[in-house]
Chain A
C-alpha cells in the first residue's frame, strides 16, 4: 500500500501512541518509586509533570474520533477524556488539599497501567502491524479490574474535594450580569459526580462488548 496519506497516518499514530506509552510509563514508575521511598503524600508532586502532559495530550483523541481517523465512537471517547481532564485540571490542579490523599495513588496507578497497556497495544498495531495475543488479552481484560478501581478513585477524589470547592468559590460567576450567566463550581462538581451514575455502566458495558467481539474473533482465527 504505497498510499502516502495512509503512511503519514501510520507514522503519526506510531509517534503519538509510543510517546504516550513513555509518558504514562514514567507516571507509573515515579508513583511506585515515590510510594516506596517517600510515602503516599508525595506521589502527586512526583508525577505531576508527566501526568499533566500525558493526560492533556489525550485531547487529540477526541479530534481523532470526530474526524473519523479512528473507529472509536465519540460516545465512548468523550466521557473518558472529559472525566480525566476534570480530575487533572479541575480537581488536582485547583484543590491542593486533596493531593496528599491515598486516593491519588490508586488513581494514577490505575490510569497509568491502563494507559501503558492501551497505548502500547495501539502502538504495536500502527508501527509493526501486529498485535501479540497476550497484549490483546491484557488490553481487553485489564479494564475488568482497573475500570472499577480507577472510577472509584475518581469519584472518591471529587467527593473529597467538594468542601474545598464550595468554600473557594473558584471560577464561580454570579448574577446579575448582562448575559444572565451563572456558573457554580460546586454544583458543576455535583453534576460531574451524578454523570458517573449512567456513565460508568455505559463505559464498562461498552468495553465488555468490545472484549467479547475481539477475544472471540481472535479465538476463531
Chain B
C-alpha cells in the first residue's frame, strides 16, 4: 500500500510517497520517514490523519504499534507529519531536574556560602537543619530511583526546551529553600512540630511510593496499556493519589521547617499538579463513560479531598 507523507501546510515531506506491505506497522512507517528525511527520528514525529479544513475535530494521532492498514482507506493513506523538535528521553529529563536539588541543597548545608551573602557563617547546624537536609536529599534520591526503576512513561520523550524550563524550576526553588533553611539566622519551630512535620512527611513519601508502584502495574513493560482506571489504596477515593501524597509530603517538610520559601514552593507545585490532575480526571471520565461495554469511571475526588 502507498503512504503519502505531507506537512501541515500540505507540502509533500517524502517525494513520491512510500510503499509498504500489508503487514507493516506505523513504527515501520516512522522508520522509513526517518531514513528518507534523515532529520526526523521517530520520537520527533507526530503523525496524524488529515482533518477537513475548518473542522473543529482534534486530529487522530497514529499509534506506533498499529498496522498502517488500520488507518488506510483501501490501498492508500495520507498522513500529516508534525516535527515535535529535538527530543530528550523522560528519564534524562527527570534525572537532571532532580539532580540539581540533590546537589544544590547540601552545598548550602556543608559549605560556608553565607559569608558571600555578608553573614558570619555558623559551623554548628541545628538538629532540624540536619534532619531537613536528610529528608530533602532522601526525597530527590527516591525520585531518581523511581525514574529509573518504577515509572512507565506513556511518551518516551519530551521536547528539549523542557530541560531548561524544568531544571530552572527545580534548581531555582531548591536553592531558594536551601538558602533559608540552612541560614545561620534560621529560627526553628517547636520540637513537637518538627517531629510531627517530618513523621507526616515520611508517611506521605511512603504512600507516594506505593502509589507509584500501583500506577506502574497498570501498564505493561513496553509502555502499552494506555489509560486504565487506577484502583487500590488511595486511588479508590482520589484519582491522582500520587499527586495528593506528594503535596502532603511537602506540607510535612514545611510544617517541620517553616519557611515562606518552602510554602511558596508548595503552593506553586500544588497548582501545577492540580492542573495536571484536572486534565487526567477529565480524560479518564471521558474515556470510561460506561458505554459500549466500557466501565464507568467511579465518583472520586480529583486531587485534594475534601476540596477538589
Residue among A175, A176, A177, A178 with the most chain B CB within 10 A?
A: A175
Q: Indicate the member of B181, B183, B186, B260 with the most A CB atoms within 10 Å.
A: B260
Q: Measured between C-beta atoms, what is the minimum distance from B12 to chain A in Å?
A: 22
Q: In the complex, what residues of B have CB within 8 A of residue A174's CB? A: 185
A177 to B180, CA, bound (A): 11
In the assembled complex, A180 has its CB within 8 A of some CB on chain B: yes
CB distance B259 to A178 under 8 Å? no
Chief secondary structure at chain A's binding surface: loop
Complex interface: chain B residues within 8 A of A181 (CB): 180, 259-261
Contact bitstring B236-266, A, C-beta under 8 A = 1, else 0: 0000000000000000000001111100000
Q: What bracket does the count of chain A residues touching chain B fall in?
A: under 10
Q: 8 nearest interchain CB pairs? A: A175-B185, A181-B260, A180-B259, A176-B185, A176-B187, A180-B180, A179-B260, A175-B183
CB-CB under 8 A from B186, the residues of chain A are 175-176, 180
A177 x B187 contact (CB < 8 A):
yes
**CA–CA, A177 and B185, complex, Å:** 8
When each residue 162-179 of chain A gets 1 if its CB lies under 8 Å from chain B and 0 otherwise, what string results? 000000000000111111
Please determine whether B187 and A178 come into contact, CB atoms closer than 8 angstroms: yes
Contacts of A177 in B (CB 8 A): 187
Contact with A along B169-209 (1 / 0, CB 8 A): 00000000000110101110000000000000000000000
Q: Which residue of A lies closest to B260 (CB)?
A: A181
* 20 sampled A-B residue pairs with Cβ under 8 A: A174-B185, A175-B180, A175-B183, A175-B186, A175-B187, A176-B185, A176-B187, A177-B187, A178-B258, A179-B258, A179-B259, A180-B180, A180-B181, A180-B186, A180-B257, A180-B258, A180-B259, A180-B260, A180-B261, A181-B259
Q: How far is the CA of A180 from the CA of B260 in the complex (A)?
A: 7
Residues of B within 8 A of A180 (CB): 180-181, 183, 186-187, 257-261
